[in-house]
A and B are shown apart, each in its own frame.
Chain A
């Protein structure tokens, strides 16, 4: 069975918009509608905006524990650090604010975007390191620490703003989206899981004591403090970890494949509010 056919069979059986997928032409708005309808139908008791709260939206016990934790959120330290870092000028006197629209405040919901000059998807993490390098600074690790702090602050200033990912009228943008979608639904690794195996087919179910989060809104909460990591992690860290947990070989953070994946997954969560930084078990 070809990968595409397998994808189609899987998506059809999941009720994921057979019409959207069976059409010859890619149709992102129809994809997003089918994707969101699938989760809304699967979890009729979960309010739409609550999907950004991942496992807490599907389990009352965990939600109680989380609400208690939010009194003293575990990401607070990173958030404070990120705020300071964001304001501190580079050696050349410029700041992050000079690299971003609106001085970088309240813009999380617009990332990733398709850059027509580069012809590729640009994520917030990538844009932050590019900003550093353009100003003569060393790039940060994509997975944690400073990058998590900076994105935590940028998410925080955007809380409540709804994801607004655009796919411009450019065949390269559509191709990036389609590739991200294919990555999302393709099985890989020794355990033979796709992203969708866990986060579309099985959200709300337990793997051991953990509750699987729904794919819908999963990026809206990033970056996250994970108790399992004893620290903060970025979107890059989340994806790399997913790959290694399914015994696949992770790609380099911010590889084209991951950028496309983030583009797809963010697009189909359009309309959901930014809730990051988040906390997860």
Chain B
């Protein structure tokens, strides 16, 4: 019983650790995608910590974690025109500019800002 508990506990710990490690590598991958001109190319419009030559069309991307949850960020990346029909932000998911996995990695990155 004790062994089983310990096993379960260590399994749970390693699972949560791997989830954290996954988010970390997701964030690093997400940053790459966000800065890549052929992918997210977010710097064309947004100022982001760590990025050079940002544009000024969109708002500065900071304090995102406190303002948006994961689902909201995903929805904005997928198609911001749903929330704001006048936005000039490209619908990255709807128009297949980025895959679901790529959007998820970028959201990981955005949540570190």
- Which positions in A face B, CB cutoff 8 Å? 1, 6, 9-10, 13-14, 190-193, 197-198, 201-202, 205-209, 212
Knowing A191-B97, A192-B90, the reply to whether A6 touches B85 (Cβ < 8 A) is: yes
B44 at the interface (CB under 8 A from A): yes
B3 at the interface (CB under 8 A from A): no
B24 at the interface (CB under 8 A from A): no
In whole angstroms, how far apart are the Cα atoms of A209 and B53 in the complex?
A: 6
- Which positions in B face A, CB cutoff 8 Å? 43-45, 53-57, 81, 85-86, 88, 90-91, 95-97
Knowing A10-B86, A13-B86, the reply to whether A192 touches B91 (Cβ < 8 A) is: yes
Of all A-B residue pairs in the complex, the 9 with the closest CB atoms, nearest first, are A191-B90, A197-B88, A206-B56, A206-B55, A207-B55, A205-B57, A205-B56, A190-B95, A207-B44
In whole angstroms, how far apart are the Cα atoms of A178 and B57 in the complex?
A: 29
A190 touches B90 (CB 8 A): yes
Smallest CB–CB gap between B110 and chain A, Å? 20
B88 touches A208 (CB 8 A): no
| A191 proximity list for chain B (CB < 8 A) | 90, 95, 97
Interface of B: prevailing SS: loop
Smallest CB–CB gap between A185 and chain B, Å? 12
Smallest CB–CB gap between A109 and chain B, Å? 31
B86 touches A192 (CB 8 A): no
A198 touches B88 (CB 8 A): yes
| A205 proximity list for chain B (CB < 8 A) | 55-57
In whole angstroms, how far apart are the Cα atoms of A212 and B57 in the complex?
A: 10
In whole angstroms, how far apart are the Cα atoms of A206 and B56 in the complex?
A: 5
In whole angstroms, how far apart are the Cα atoms of A6 and B90 in the complex?
A: 16
| B44 proximity list for chain A (CB < 8 A) | 207-208
| A209 proximity list for chain B (CB < 8 A) | 53
A208 touches B86 (CB 8 A): no
Identify 14 new A-B residue pairs, CB closer than 8 A, beyond the known A193-B90, A206-B56: A1-B85, A6-B85, A9-B85, A13-B86, A191-B90, A191-B95, A192-B81, A192-B95, A198-B88, A201-B88, A202-B88, A205-B56, A206-B54, A208-B54
